[in-house]
A = this chain, B = another copy of it.
Amino acid sequence: MTAPHSSLTAALQQVDTDLDAALDRLLVLLAIPSISTDPAYQADCRKAADWLVDDLTSLGFTASTRDTPGHPMVVARHDPQDGVERPHILFYGHYDVQPVDPLALWTNDPFDPKIEETPKGKVIRGRGASDDKGQLMTFLEACRAWKKANGALPFNLTIFLEGEEESGSPSLIPFMQENAKELTADLALICDTGLYGADTPAIVTMLRGMYKTEITVTGPDKDLHSGMYGGPAMNPIRVLTKILGRLHDDEGRVAIPGFYDDVKPIPQDMHAQWEALGFDGEAFLREVGLSVPAGEKERSALEQIWSRPTAEINGIWGGYTGAGFKTVLPSKADAKLSFRLVPGQDPAKIGAAFNAWFRAQMPADCSVTFARENGSPAGEMNIAQPAFEAAREALTDEWGTPAAFVGCGGSIPIAGHFGTVLGMDAMLIGFAREDDAIHSPNEKYDVECFHKGVRSWVRVLDRIGG
């Protein structure tokens, strides 16, 4: 722990003093039902964007909404204008939220947010409390406190807030391309991730990529009656299960030739740091009713999630699936597959290897098509950026627990877009907890996470700008 100096101390005190007012502001934003995927809430999305522009303007930012074919972007700029050469930081968050159904499972109106006392402490309850309005406001409140305590932010700052993250970000890449000069900074900060466990602050440094494909196997040219044709006629469900049944070997490895060829090994120190986190793989599986790790046998569950590629059948269908029986021998059978990819793997190459492997096992008189193939490579943050070590120290100071460089089993496309579209490094820091129920009924954000989140950003501002 480093000794706090006056501007940091003052800003942290300001955060503590202002907490109730900050929570009130968040509740106002949470009350706007900015569900981006449902056209019925289009005006509400704009209302949320306008509210943010007003708030940022009150903080001294030059802020505006920017129209897109979908929901507006919010872009705000703050320059200290003191003549000192400073780094330029961009902060990203999103103001749109997930739909709320099934509404019946909510204990109260998802857009009438409340601070609730619970056995585990105070929570902010409402749609978007954690994902992502509560998280993005941690950064805005940190800026507010810093400015109130110290007058100016310690670096040039662009705030970039999206309103389509929960509906696939259709306008994001075109907007980035059209506004590349304005948006390109030295580093992007993204607040849309979580703590590691309940209390370990975390910086995501690896995100798995994805390759998706949809398979259709065709056997006979029409559905057949199994009494008439059962025996001599090949059933495409038999073909599909036979081939997909070989997707993993008995050691839990993906059996496609060359699948692991380009996987970059995890550096020894990163690996050691992960081991030190003491992840309880058994408990992790027990929580969802399982007990036998299904991935590569020689890898821990944490390694499997953060650093190893997968092949999953996300959907399968064919033949008669209604009530009762129909002894049909169908013409077609389908499956949807996705592969989680890790640094080094090329989605197109993985797709080609899969297709070749699948085709090689097809009976001569059946055919296969692959549709909707698309992919995005894994993300690997540039932890050589000094900001990473600075942020790690800042987070460690706030939480009293060493901050971890962690992986993430899922994909957060925005991190990759900053790299591929704007050539910027990105750093993902967030304060969500696993029980926040994001995308589910009764979403919440712990007041502790919000409070410490604001304080964490104050410390990051200080470390990076200082």
Contact = CB atoms under 8 A, between A and B. Distances in A.
A310 interface: yes
A232 B301 contact: yes
A329 B290 CA distance: 13
B220 A290 contact: yes
Nearest to A374: B325
Interface in A196-252: 208, 210, 212, 214, 219-222, 224-235, 237-238, 240-248
Interface stretch (A41-49, A180-188, A388-396, A408-416): A408-416
Given A220-B290, A288-B220, A231 B317 contact: no
A227 B342 CA distance: 12
Residue with the highest number of chain B CB atoms closer than 10 Å, among A222, A329, A364: A329
Nearest to A302: B232
Contacts of A235: 294, 312-313
Nearest to A408: B227
A340 interface: yes
Interface residues of A, number: 79
A172 interface: no
A284 interface: yes
Nearest to A244: B241
Contact of A221 (B247, B289, B324, B326): B289
Interface of A: 208, 210, 212, 214, 219-222, 224-235, 237-238, 240-248, 281, 284-285, 288-295, 301, 304-305, 308, 310, 312-321, 324-330, 333-336, 338, 340, 363-366, 372, 408-411
